[in-house]
Amino acid sequence: MPRVASIGECMIELRQGPGALYTRSFGGDTLNTAVYLARLDVKVDYLTVLGDDTLSDEMIAAWTEEGVGTRPVVRLPGMLPGLYMIHTDANGERQFFHWRENSAARQLMDLPETDDLLNSLLSYDVVYLSAITLSLYGESGRARLVSALSRARLLGTRFVFDTNFRARGWPDLNIARSVFGAALEIADIVLASTEDLLALYPGESAAELMARIPSPEVVLRLAEPASLLRFPGGSAEVRAEPVTKRVIDTTAAGDSFAAAYIAARLAGSDPIEAARAGHRLAGVVVCYPGAIIPAYAMPLRKRSRSTAPRKASQ
């Protein structure tokens, strides 16, 4: 069975309820994707750093219950996870407020265990991370991670890069553009959105944004419910099926799309079928509050009809 490593940060999530009441749970872009991957029967480990507090204990227990592997999680005494708050408007569009400057996850590239963790990437079929993951680390940490990804790809590990972008996480847009460029150069699959890329390259068309990405397999989610695809031997536009229920919260729409796309590709679907699976799951997720929907709400999967995705080669 293929194995996936998802790298990033899980935070305490506070979701606004009636009045001034908030519900506490956990979330973070790459963690959300890892949970949805596990629910789609993909063997996935989460690589991150947590504290030794009771909230971190709860995170580990929740991930284990979901089937996400926690063996690579490093625990640091005296440290805490970050925190974020979600506010949604009447249309379900979300606004995030973060308190994460001193979170344990930011230490991942600066630990005695870092070399072993980075070397372990060689043992995975796919490594998945996002631009938010890269924003957690300093210049030297990002360089260590990119170097490790490049080594892993030489032995056939595929690197999937999600362009999930939050400007507040970067000291300078030019730095962000430089880091994006380095990640895009080595990514086997890029899961992008116009929302992310237009923040870096304002005013560009979808075709111009696609042209910026040298990766062989690219999915560009558009502002409307559709995606543009480019892959070896072809290109396509995939439109999402209409969402028939009321949209409540768009949190994790992109994260769930990524999980369904990766799971479908690993199961043998071609990029077009994988994008349809991504849109299908995201269309369900936006009809529930918070990042992780109830397990019973997961849509039924359709059987794959194509060949397995290629291995990386250089």
Q: Which residues are catalytic?
A: 255
Structure tokens at 116: 């072993």
Three-state SS at 298: coil
* Region at 9 (left for phi over 0; alpha for psi -120 to 50; beta for the rest): beta
Q: In what order do the strands lie in the sheet with 158-162?
A: 43-47, 3-7, 126-130, 158-162, 189-193, 217-221, 226-231, 234-239
Q: Return the SS3 of 98.
A: strand
Identify the sign of the CA torsion 305, 43, 64, 72.
negative
The C-alpha atoms of residue 294 and residue 288 are separated, in whole angstroms, by 8
Q: CA-CA distance, 179 to 143, in Å (whole number)?
A: 9
Tell the residue number behind the tokens 């938010």, with chain if given: 132
Beta-carbon contacts of residue 265 (< 8 Å; ≥ 6 apart): 189, 271, 274, 308, 309
